[in-house]
Every structure is written in C-alpha cells, then in structure tokens.
Structure 1
Amino acid sequence: MFAPPDLPYSGRICAARYNITMLDPALLGQVASGGPHGDGPVRLTGHRPHSAAAARYLSHAIAHLRDHVLADPAVADQPLIASTAAQHLAATVLATFPNTALTEPAGPDRGDARPATLRRALAFVDDHADQPVTVAEIAAAAHVTVRALQYAFRRHLGTTPLAHLRRVRLAHAHHDLVAADPAGGTTVTEIAARWGFHHAGRFAAEYRKTYRRAPHRTLADG
C-alpha cells in the first residue's frame, strides 16, 4: 500500500508493531467497478484509510479471515472459500483506502445494462456456481463492463452479481442437504464449505431466512 507493487521501495520502521497482509493487486481490479475493460489496473492513491471507522473495518475483516476462515486448513483449502476470502479482502481494501476505481456507471454502461446482458450473466453464474467466480468474469461472460453488469443487476433484480451468486450457491447447498444421507456422516459444515460458506452460524441464519428451517433439520430429514 506504500508503493506501487511493480516498483522497489525501502523504508525504516522504529519501535512499531505491525501485521503484514498481502494480496494480489489484480484482485482489486476484479472486484472493483472498473473491471477488465477499465482504463488500466486499479491503484490505491493513498495509504491512509478514509476514516478511523474504515481502518477498524479493515482490521476486523483481516482478523476474521485470519482467525475464523483461514485458521482451519480443512476449510481454507476449499476453493470457493479461498476465492471468497480473497475477494472479500480486496473489496474491504477498496472500501478503506482512496483508489482509482470508479463506482458509478457511465452512459455506455447504462446502455449495456439490458435484459440480454442479464440473461448471459445469469446463465454463467448457474453454470459456474461450483467454481471460484469474480464479478469481472461474470461481466466478461456477459460481454459488458463490470459497471454495466452491476447496473443491470441493480436495475432489473434489485441486487448485486455477488449477492445473486451467493443465493445460487445457497440453493445448491439446500439441494445437497436434501439429497445427503444423514447416516453417512455428512455434516452441515462440510456442505456449507463446499459452496463457499465458511461461517457455520451465518450460513445457518441465511439458510433459515430463506428456507424457514434450520439446515441440520433438512439434513436429518433427508
């Protein structure tokens, strides 16, 4: 965050405690509104957070990923978990620091936000829900910019591409819970992690809100 990732730098730290959190800079472009058709890679334009609240938000996000998501190797090795965690970290960084990403769709992007765009995006999500997927990849499959994609989802579905992807994965988790043999040793946590839900409590709450019952009850009645 103190220097462009492709340039060397040197510094001196005196009497300090710090944690180093690293991420692929390309992730910033994948989760930002600029997307693959933007004006170049997304860059941070300052190393100070927007506010003390933003700094706390980033700190809490890093602690959560470190202590609850990546601490368990069995969970951290799940491809969807790793992808979701990386995208969450990148999105939090963009929400914390000033950067070059644009957030509002331009005129051409609004014109691209048509139902046909949405159909292509929905088909791609349905076909790739079991794989790590970024907003940029969904936009590329729909042949539009990320801004146009986000505008299409907001305009026609009242949601975001990643929120829709999460709902699709929840539906797949529900199907697996229904189909699982309760005597076979399969657990709710295993099925949740398979579909990218790393926090069992939040998965249970989201599942209960959607299906009006606890996931362990669905598994037991399967």
Structure 2
Amino acid sequence: MGADGRGPVRLTGLRPVDEASNRQLGAVVAYVRDHVLGNPAACASELLVASAAQHLAAATLAALPHTGRTDPVPADRTDATPATLRRAIAYIEANAERDVTLADISGAAFVTPRALQYAFRRHLGTTPLGHLRLVRLDAAHRDLLAADPATATVTGIAMRWGFAHQGHFAGLYRTAYGQAPGDTLRA
C-alpha cells in the first residue's frame, strides 16, 4: 500500500534518491542477472527466485522515489520490544525454508515492518532479513555436516537455502564458521 493507505506502492520518479542507492540498485540488478537468471539451477529453486525478486524490489524501493515512503511514527519505536523480537525469531526459525518476506515476519510479530526493523536493530544489531540469512546459513551448515560428500554438493546445499552466488555463500560461511563450506562437507 502507498503511504496514503490506498492502492499499491508506485514509483514516482526514475531518478535515484542518491548516488549510493543508484550503485546498490545496479549491483543488485547485475547479481540477479548473472547469478540467478543466468543460472538454470538457481532458476529452478523457488526460494532463490523469490529471494532474488524481493532483493530487487527492496533495492528498487530504496533507490527510487515512490508513494510508500513514510516517516516513522512513535508506535514503531515503542513496539520494538523483546517480545516482538521473540515472536519474529520464532516465525523466522519455523519458516526459513520458505519464501519469507518482511511483511510475513512483521505480521507474525503483530507489528509494522518498521517496528520490526527497529526491534532487530535495537536488540540484535541487524535487520529481520539479515537474521533470516543467518538462520539459513546455519541450516546450510547443519546440512553440510550431515551430508554424504559422495552425493551432496556445496552448491546444491547452498541453493536449497537461498544462496545463489557461491562466492558470496563461501565468504559468509567462512566468516561464520572459520572454514570453507567444502571443508565442512568433506569432514
């Protein structure tokens, strides 16, 4: 919905709001083109395609002026409680294998998306979708530990959890677990 509560969000201009947003949008478009649309295995994964579409939509809305831009309201800050965070985390953990949006998580936590973002920033120092990415990374880690290296691949496991770009997945994995995902698979 637009900021006026009527109808869908619409772009109101084609000039980016700032140069950094423009660069980010360009990077997201290149990522989706090269690592999702250009990869038949990635295109076969509903989770990957949905995540890429959400990423592209978020980058577009961050970069271009639109009718959905609103200023925060006081309730957004007061709803950013530990209870909100607990409800959101429970939803994320129970649904990490599904196509999950910010709206889904905020609905499950009974707060606005902005309040949910405040709660995650205030209490965890991340965003709801950033936390979802960490939950999926942990699930991929567990799958790598349990997999048979003769039949499983790092790429297949990464794609199952929504990671289309193998270099990005490997970097996140190495930062979190101190080794390459292939080393975990072979261990």
Shared fold, TM over 0.5: yes
Q: Say which SS state the counterpart of residue 15 (structure 2) adopts.
A: coil
Structure 1 residue 217 corresponds to structure 2 residue 183: yes
**2:105 aligned partner:** 138
CA distance in 2, matches of 1:145, 1:55: 27
**2:115 aligned partner:** 148
* Distance verdict in 2 for CA 1:55–1:119, change over 3 Å: closer
Q: Is the 8 A contact 1:104 1:147 kept in 2?
A: no
Task: Name the aligned partner's letter for residue 215 of structure 1.
Answer: P
Task: Name the aligned partner's letter for residue 90 of structure 1.
Answer: A
| Cα drift, residue 126 of structure 1 | 0.4
* Distance verdict in 2 for CA 1:83–1:109, change over 3 Å: same
* Distance verdict in 2 for CA 1:54–1:154, change over 3 Å: closer
Deviations 1:129-157, CA, capped at 9 Å, x for gaps: 00000000000001111011111111111
Q: Percent identity?
A: 56
CA distance in 1, matches of 2:20, 2:128: 26
Q: Is the 8 A contact 1:105 1:151 kept in 2?
A: no
**2:74 aligned partner:** 107
**Aligned pairs, how many?**
186
Task: Name the aligned partner's letter for residue 164 of structure 1.
Answer: H
Aligned counterparts, 1:27-66, within 5 A: 39-40=5-6, 41-51=8-18, 54-66=21-33
Q: Is the 8 A contact 2:35 2:42 kept in 1?
A: no
Specify the structure having the higher radius of gyration (Cα): 1
Q: Is the 8 A contact 1:103 1:147 kept in 2?
A: no
Unaligned residue ranges in structure 1 (runs of 5+)? 1-28
| Cα drift, residue 80 of structure 1 | 1.5
Choose from 94, 117, 142 the match for 1:127: 94
| Cα drift, residue 56 of structure 1 | 4.5
CA distance in 1, matches of 2:178, 2:77: 37
Aligned counterparts, 1:122-201, within 5 A: 122-183=89-150, 185-201=151-167
CA distance in 2, matches of 1:133, 1:94: 18
CA distance in 2, matches of 1:61, 1:116: 33
TM-score, normalisation: structure 2: 0.91
CA distance in 1, matches of 2:147, 2:108: 32
| Cα drift, residue 70 of structure 1 | 1.3
**1:23 aligned partner:** none
Moved more, 45-54 or 107-116: 45-54
CA distance in 2, matches of 1:168, 1:57: 24
**1:26 aligned partner:** none
CA distance in 2, matches of 1:117, 1:53: 31
Unaligned residue ranges in structure 2 (runs of 5+)? none
CA distance in 1, matches of 2:121, 2:20: 27
Regions of 4+ moved over 6 Å: none
Task: Name the aligned partner's letter for residue 158 of structure 2.
Answer: A
* Distance verdict in 2 for CA 1:55–1:147, change over 3 Å: closer
| Cα drift, residue 51 of structure 1 | 4.6
Q: Say which SS state the counterpart of residue 182 (structure 1) adopts.
A: coil
